[in-house]
Structure 1
Amino acid sequence: MKQLLRLLKPLLKFNYSHPYWVVSVCIILAVLSGYYALQLKVDTDIANLLPEDHPNVLALEKLSESVGGETEMLVVINSPSFEANKAFADTLIQRSLDLYYPRYEDTFFKRAEFRRETEFVKNNALYLASENELEEVTQYLEDEIQQAKEEANPFYFDLGDEEEEETAGAENFEDSYNMLVPSEYPVNEDSTIMVVRFFPTGSKSDIKYLEDMFDEYDSLLASMNPQAYHPEMEVRFGGRLKRHLEELTSIMNDVLGSFASGISSVILLVMLYFFFKKYIHYRKGTNGNGSYSVWSHILRMPVPVLIIGVPLLISLTWTFGITYFYLGILNTMTSVLFVILFGLGIDYGIHYYARYIELRSLGMNAHDAVMKTNEKTGEAILVSAFTTAAALYILMFADFRGFSEFGFISGTGILLSLMAMLYILPALLVIFDERLNWILISDEQKEEYTGVHRYPYARTIVTVGLVASAFVIGFSGNLRFQYDFGELEPTFPEYEEFRSFAGQVDDNSKRNPAYIIAETNEQVEEIAGILKERMDSDTTSPTIKSVETLQERYPIHEAQEQQKLQKIAEIRELFKDPFLVEQEDEDLEKLRMAAQTTEPVSLDSIPNYLKSRFITKDGEVGRFVIIYPSVGLGDGKKSIAFKNDVSVVTLDSGKEFHAASTSIVAASMLDLMRTESPYMVGATFIFIYFFMLFSFRSFRWSIIAMLPLLVGLLWLFGLMMIFGLQFNFYNLVVLPAILGIGEDSGVHLAHRYREEGKNSMWQVLSSTGQHITMGSITTMLGFAGLLFTNHPGLQSIGVMAVLGIGMTLLTSITFLPALIQWLEDKDWIRF
């Protein structure tokens, strides 16, 4: 590191000689970078955290190209009058579809779903039944005939077993029929609540479109005056689409809020710390008789913030300008990195500025103080920043984009902050100190403190620290991972109320399907058969509720059409049996109507509500296999289990097909992150150690400098177990970052101690100890802003970071000094 600093010394000299040029050019570059940084948008879809070439991601893209990824907007109409609701809905649909959006030169909505043409299906339901369902209907009718014959026998005695079998058959028929022939309108049980679905023309990622759409819809509903249709009519609109906009708005507000609270608290802390530090040095240097009053020092309190803050803001704008060109977008986890990097980057400025003030207070001129600070503190800053950045860059090797993008942005931000503090901050020191005299320093020459003061209770502190660490290791099995997605998402009362309100109209219990797209109809049949076999064989932890294909219901070829018509004709013959002709039964009457088909049914005549799931954008019958889960996919474990059951289907030919759905992709993301995180943490830890070994060129000192990090990490795990905190796919991202940040304190203390020599630990703590405490606290404040967000996942990042950095700081100012003092007493310290 010394060689690197010597190599860059001409740059430092140029900055000292031409400070105004350096600062001006850097600010101009920052303005240009800032322009592009402001173009960054936030993608809140956690499913996009998988690599783009992941099989399930590619399958989802293929599905979107074939079917389209439609997220509907729901409108719920409520009044005591069904006719009033229907009249309002008919008018609303027409006016909604006419809403024009000039920005797109198109309408806001492309289609609506409301009335379902069920009459046609009632008369042709058996033509749309699967082969198994036709067999069940045939068996059901034959059983009815047999039962009627037996009951006609005067010696008949009912044993009850057959009745249970008949009931089961009737229920199977009822389920299939209700799926094919739902109610004509989507209403609740008493027909007082009605739902209309609208499908937007724009993408849910276009925030401007969503904002304009919802504003326009507010105006439309107000102009229609629902009470004119019925005095008690209430109309609400929303759904997942509106929640998506609310979540994005909430995250942006959280980012701005945490930015304001975190940065303002950091600025205030830095101002107060350097005010007292500099004023105490000034009073000591002048013996209380300085020419500048306290008021002069108070007026200059913002100077340290400007000297440290300007280079930091410049580096941050550079970082996010580069991010715009490299990534083009932020995700939920990286959206808060501006605040985090502010707290991280200011650490290096605090170390540099504090050491400069100390050297100036010892009587050095500005030039010598800059050069000496760069030589001594610069080396520790270089080691710390390179280690932290490299530890973060390791995350880029992860397939999980939550890791890789976090690692790229934060690693780049650390390096640019380092360069700004080493080569822009000195230029500002020259301007404010030498040129403007805004940094008040006593000119009297003073000597450094050379007394000896042992660190007290060294052996006791080391023993307690090691025992506590051993306990944590012993109980580490109690650490848990949070699998419930719902616990990590923000809650929006308005959305929950709307969902509960709209949920009263629930005409389909099948949700969150996964799709597999085949290439031929034969492959569709084979894939469906494999999945049904899995569904039937899994009796311990089933995750598949049903497997459906249109090919199974709608005959494609003429031979299939004739075969199905023949089967329906056989069922009609069964109804001619004398024992069924006279029977009056609701289920039998439905079947009589459903068996009227005598000619092939064209695809165009089938209602959209029934075939829309199976039809491509081009209007053709898609070769889709649709798999419905039997478990709630909000639970990460169940979601992963469903993914494992349906994600990959391998045919006899060896060809593989992958399932597609956002839930499958999210489960794959969670599974990948869970698999990769131990390797990322382990690789980070190993890299930090070897970097320490390279920096100190001593096995002993590399171990000493690493111990605060290791012990602090164990203490963090201990706190998590005590307070019941869990790992999740948000806070695991920051764990490798904590490793990189946590070693910072140990590096600075070890470097300064080696510089000062034996019996200097107390002196090192009174100087560098203050700096690392300030640096860690400012970093914690950068993360602390996340504690007050509405997003539980972002909150967990804040909690993990604050506790982790706090524990590594605590071990650095207690365990590490005690360890060095104890080793020094044993004469085990070597330089």
Structure 2
Amino acid sequence: MTRMLSRALAAWIELMTRHAIWVIAVGIVITLGGAWYSMTHLSMDTDDSNLISSHVPWRKTYIAYQHAFPIYNDNLVIVVDGATPDIAGAATDKLAKALRQQPNLFPSVYEPGGGQFFAKNGFLYLSKDKLQSLSSRLTQIQPFLGRLSADPTLPTFFDMLDKAMAPDAPVDMNLAPVFSELAHTFDASREGRYNRLSWQQLIGGDQPGVSDQRFIIVQPKLNYGALLPAQKPMQAIRDAAKRLNLDAAHGVRVRQTGEVALSDEELASVTHGAAWGASLAFLAVGIILYLGLRSWALMGASLASLVAGLVGTATFAALAVGRLNLISIAFAVLYIGLGIDYAIHVCLRYREALAELGERVAGRAAGVRHALTSAISDVGLSLALCALTTAAGFFAFIPTSYSGVAELGLISGVGMFISLVVSLTFLPAAISLMKPWVPSTDTTTSRWAPFIGRRAQRLIWTLSAVAVLACVMALPFIRFDPSTLDLKNPNDEAVKTYRDLLAHSEHSPLTLVTTRPTLAQAKGLAARIAKQPHVSGAMTVANFVPGNQTAKLSIIGDLALTLAVTPPDMSKHADFGARKQAIADFAQHLTAYRKSDTGDDAAAARDLAQSLSAWRDWFAQQKPAAQKQILASLHDRVLSGLPRQIDGLADAMNASRITLKNLPESLRKRWIGTQGQFRVEVSPSGNLDHESAMRKFVASVRQAAPHITGAPVLELSAGHTVSSAFMHAFIYAAIFISLFLLVLLRSVVDTIRVLVPLALSGLILAAATVVLDIPFNFANVIALPLLLGVGVDSGIHVVHRLRQREHHRPFLGTSTARAVILSSLTTMAGFGSLAFSRHAGTASMGQLLTIGMLAVLITTLIVVPALFRILRE
């Protein structure tokens, strides 16, 4: 059977070499056509959730939720941070207004807790006691607001403070907030920092939405025909922020995160890493090829075959799958590292055949064809077997629910057979045309190669046993990281912003959600969940209908009669002398106030006095022109936020009764589904950046709602699904390869000789994840099954060589050992280039594959020979 296959291969190669020009021409046409087709038909899918099969139960639950609430799909979250709540609020309003003017890019723009509805009805969301307290405070300061609205100048502002600090002040006020705000303002003026006194904090500190961090949620128009679908809307947001001066120089920071931003930035990292990795792998493989083959012609033919096979694999991906995901895009780098192995074996055997040929064939062309026919008839069958075992390592993931790696396995597994076909067609045709005459001058032995005697054999056995024991001790500490966030580039803005929200924001993005057919059921479930540990609260649309509205509207009505303020005329300005004198008078009154002050605002008064003194000393050192500019700037710092707050108070005086029916549509569709379902959202009580906290949160909520979904459930469930898929794939690959070896080698002992170093390499790789703190994740989980398929190839070559020749010469000096080393180096070059990717998941895949291949190389070249009988000392 073997001889028949060898003769068939010889006849095939004879055909390829005699019609080499036609083979090359057809190969070039097919490659160019495949390149065009793959470039125009191969798309990218950046949705992390699609890495898992949609038929898994927990995915079905989430998909049903997405259909009920499509408004939450493809969201872009804009985080606006301001130096003060006033600045944050004003910046958010301006940016949201600018985005609404671009409906072609932003069909949906939503401000949580913002907009006209909450500006008008915000007071109704306060408790009755807080609203009464706010009403009393506003009533007390109404005379001051009235006077300041009529004359919004620095002298008026400081004169009002002077009167408030006087012993016979008409109203007993807590001045600590004003003192603190003024201290910050004077410090910022002296230090040249942007700052605005927060009137919102001073007047309406108890209002909802008083925060220096605000959000805008947009659903942008995505262009899936572009490489980065959200690039245009994300750039439009940056341009709008720049145009509106929403930057650090004006006390504002605008950042983007959310599903869309994370996907786009991850896609940019992955594609950049794939392109960089493929280029680096190609260069490294080229260098290693030349060093190993010592022939420009052979190296050029091998690299041309590599490109043809890579394009063919990409064409298959476009035809069979149609898209690449965040994991399967690594197929190119994996192919470069693995696909070149067949060309290496063909070229090395070709050189040996030339050396064996000598002068027996007349004519160079005939000699090249004869050497090619002899070489491929010798190694062709073993190359086919190696393609089968390597593909098995990839195909092992196809039956699993891990769609992301299953697609990579399908593409790369078929790519191994494409590489085999190219190596048996295009490569021999290219060599026959170039006719490189480079007979091998290497001998089967080398003086430097050590001979493994009985003493060395025992030492290898002992060291292997120690290594196994040490690795087994590390196995309990192996962990799987289910976080998709940890796979992304940690330096991307969207990732850093998302982590910042997890750690510091009151609004965690990791919430759990579920639906109920009626509002009563949703409210009942929310009440039960809210009592669970690790839960900060559970909301439904009913939470947006305030309680005690009759009493609250009465308080607001009374306040409206008292709080009669008009919008301030900001065109009024005091002259330089009046401003300077007002500050001097204020400093004197503050000194007098501190002598008699023993209240709660004493500390704030002390801080203000220190800041004011430092500011006045600095101010006195400035030139007259600079002093005028400083006081004009101080006017803006103190009073520019007043008009917005006065307008906000005027809006709040027009509050009306809220019902489910008159809630704004933008709010209703976020809580009431397309089929009338009512949404329940559960927030955690702590930071879920750690897996243990996330597990506790999910387990606690599931006691009340077993079928709840949301980002934490998706992350944990995906981790369980992928780890199970990894175990199944590893078992499938191990069973297939073991049976394959038994059939191929027809010896249980030789099968064990191949599998033992592979098992040791797997243990070393597993222990390395613990020592180097590189946990298994969604991307690098392919390492063990793949290394099993790749590593067995070298083991087969070594066992065949050791079976054919008596083990009385240094094995490391043989051509087989050199071929194993060279092919392993090219594979590690391909895998290792992935380690330089900015995408953390791809980088960890490259790291583990490189470590695993190094372990396979060492154990194959040292442990396998030590398992054979020593015939010479």
TM-score normalised by length of structure 2: 0.69
What residue in structure 1 maps to residue 714 of structure 2? 665
What corresponds to 1:714 in structure 2?
763
Which of residues 516, 537, 553 in structure 2 aligns to 1:546? Answer: 537
Deviation at 1:634, TM superposition (A): 3.5
Q: Report the equivalent of 2:286.
A: 267
**Secondary structure at 2:347 match in 1:** helix
1:222 deviates by 4.0
1:338 corresponds to 2:395:
no
The yes-or-no answer on 1:421 pairing with 2:423 is yes
Q: How big is each residue's C-alpha offset from its partner over 1:43-79, in whole Å with a ceiling of 9 and x where there is no partner?
A: 3433221101223322322322222215234263646
Partner of residue 202, structure 1: 222
Cα separation, 1, equivalents of 2:234 and 2:105: 13
What number of residue pairs does the alignment pair up?
684
Change beyond 3 A, Cα 1:79–1:213: same
1:771 to 819, 843, 866: 819
1:807 aligns with 855
Of the structure 1 ranges 354-363 and 773-782, higher mean CA displacement relative to structure 2 is found in 354-363
Indicate the larger mover: 450-459 or 264-273.
450-459
Question: Which string of whole-angstrom CA distances, capped at 9 and with x for unpartnered residues, describes residues 733-780 of structure 1?
Answer: 2221011111111111122333x4324653674201000100001100
Contact 1:753 1:760 in 2 (8 A): no
- C-alpha distance in structure 1 between counterparts of 2:19 and 2:32, whole Å: 21
Give the match's secondary structure for 1:259: helix
Residue equivalent to 1:489: 488
Deviates more, 1:384-393 or 1:374-383: 374-383
In structure 2, relative to structure 1, the CA distance for the partners of 1:673 and 1:644 (3 Å cut) is farther
| Secondary structure of the corresponding residue to residue 54 of structure 2 | coil
Counterpart secondary structure, 1:688: helix
Identity %: 21
Matched-pair contact (CA < 8 Å) for 1:195–1:502:
no
- Gap change, CA 1:239 and 1:572, over 3 Å in 2: closer
Tell me the CA shift for residue 704 of structure 1.
1.8
SS in structure 2 opposite 1:342?
helix
Stretches of structure 1 lacking an aligned partner (at least 5 in a row): 101-105, 134-180, 276-300, 556-563, 574-595, 651-656, 827-831
Aligned equivalent of 1:216, options 236, 247, 256: 236
Distance 1:648 1:743, change over 3 A: farther
Deviations 1:344-370 (A, max 9, x none): 111111111101111111226333322
Partner of 1:239: 257
When structure 1 is superposed on structure 2, of 65-74 and 620-629 the one drifting more is 620-629
* 1:233-273 Cα distance to aligned partner (Å, 9 max, x none): 54534233444433321222111221222211110111122
1:78-120 residue CA offsets vs partner (Å, 9 max, x unmatched):
46793x77666555433322236xxxxx243432423363476
Aligned residue number for residue 816 of structure 1: 864
Once the two structures are superposed, the pairs formed by residues 218-617 of structure 1 within 5 Å of their partners are 218-225=238-245, 232=250, 234=252, 236-240=254-258, 241-275=260-294, 301-363=295-357, 365-433=367-435, 438-441=436-439, 455-456=452-453, 457-472=455-470, 474-483=472-481, 485=483, 487-492=486-491, 494-495=493-494, 508-509=506-507, 511-520=509-518, 524=522, 532=529, 536=531, 542-550=533-541, 602-607=659-664, 611=668, 613-616=670-673
Per-residue deviation, residues 772-826 of structure 1 (Å, max 9, x unmatched): 100001100101112222232222211211111111111111111222243x579
Q: How does 1:684-723 map to 2 (within 5 A)?
A: 684-723=733-772
CA contact (8 A) 1:351 1:377 kept: yes
Q: Which moved more, 1:414-423 or 1:740-749?
A: 414-423
Give the equivalent residue in structure 2 for 1:629. Answer: 684
The answer to which of 496-505 and 629-638 deviates more is 496-505
2:791 corresponds in structure 1 to 742
* 1:296-337 deviation per Cα after TM superposition (whole angstroms, max 9, x unaligned): xxxxx4312222122222122111211122222222222222
Report the secondary structure of 1:74's partner residue.
Answer: strand
Name the CA distance, whole Å, in 2 between partners of 1:249 and 1:238. Answer: 15
Q: Secondary structure at the match of 1:338?
A: helix
Please list, as runs of the form range in 1=range in 2, the aligned pairs for 1:22-61 lying within 5 A after superposition.
22-39=23-40, 40-61=42-63
TM superposition shift of 1:427: 1.6
Give 3-state SS (helix, strand or coil) of 1:76's partner: strand
Q: TM-score, normalised by structure 1?
A: 0.72
Pairwise CA distance, 1:380: 2.1
Match of 2:828 in 1: 780
Given that 1:360 and 1:441 are in contact with CA atoms closer than 8 Å, whether structure 2 keeps it comes out as yes
What amino acid is the match of 1:614? Answer: W
The answer for the alignment partner of 2:14 in structure 1 is 13
2:479 match: secondary structure: coil
Q: 1:188 aligns with which of 211, 234, 249?
A: 211
Identify which of 766, 783, 794 aligns with 2:842. 794
- Kindly indicate whether the alpha-carbon contact (under 8 Å) linking 1:632 and 1:638 is maintained by their aligned counterparts in 2: yes
Secondary structure at 2:334 match in 1: helix
CA distance in structure 1 between the aligned counterparts of 2:79 and 2:763, rounded to whole angstroms: 52
Distance 1:800 1:500 in 2: 26
Structure 2: which 5+ runs fail to align?
129-203, 359-366, 555-652
- Residue of structure 2 in register with 1:675 after alignment: 724
The 2-side partners of 1:93 and 1:551 are apart by 26
Work out whether residues 55 and 658 of structure 1, in 8 Å CA contact, stay in contact via their aligned partners in 2.
no
d(CA) in 2 for partners of 1:504 and 1:339?
36
SS in 2 for 1:188: coil
Where 2:481 maps in the other structure, the secondary structure is coil
Deviations 1:592-633 (A, max 9, x none): xxxx9xx995434235686453133x5x85322333334544
SS at match of 2:396: helix
Aligned to 1:108: 106
Aligned partners of 2:392 and 2:413 also within 8 Å: yes
Identify if the C-alpha distance between structure 1 residues 757 and 34 changes in structure 2 by more than 3 Å, giving closer, same or farther.
same
Whole-Å separation in 1 of the counterparts to 2:227 and 2:830: 28
Q: Which amino acid aligns with 1:117?
A: F
8 Å Cα contact 2:335-2:412 kept in structure 1: yes
Q: Distance in 2 between matches of 1:430 and 1:6?
A: 19
Letter in 2 for 1:214: M
Aligned partner letter, 2:778: F
Deviations 1:145-203 (CA, angstroms, capped at 9, x unpaired): xxxxxxxxxxxxxxxxxxxxxxxxxxxxxxxxxxxx997674536xxx66544442337
SS of the aligned residue for 2:783 comes to: helix
Residue 469 of structure 1 deviates from its aligned partner by 3.8
Describe the shift of the 1:669–1:7 C-alpha distance in structure 2 as closer, same or farther (beyond 3 A): farther
Q: CA, structure 1 residues 498+750, in 2 after alignment: closer, same or farther (shift >3 Å)? A: closer
Per-residue deviation, 1:670? 0.7
| Alpha-carbon spacing, 1:647–1:723, altered in 2? closer, same or farther (3 Å) | same
Contact in 2 for aligned 1:647/1:664 (Cα 8 Å): no
What's the offset of the Cα at 1:410?
Answer: 1.8
Amino acid of the structure 2 residue aligned with 1:635: H
Shift of 1:488: 3.9
- 8 Å CA contact 2:468–2:760 kept in 1: the answer is no
Paired with 1:46 and 1:676, the residues of 2 have a C-alpha distance of 16
Give the letter aligned to residue 268 of structure 1: I
Deviation at 1:122, TM superposition (A): 6.1
Greater CA drift, 787-796 or 462-471: 462-471
Within-5 A mapping of 1:727-738: 727-738=776-787
Counterpart CA distance in 2 for 1:183 and 1:302 is 77
SS at match of 1:336: helix
- 8 Å CA contact 1:716–1:807 kept in 2: the answer is yes
Distance in structure 1 (CA, Å) of the matches to 2:249 and 2:423: 68
> 1:5–1:375: 8 Å Cα contact kept in structure 2?
yes
Aligned-residue CA RMSD (Å): 4.3
Distance 2:257 2:245 in 1: 22
Equivalent pair of 1:514/1:660 in contact (CA under 8 Å): yes
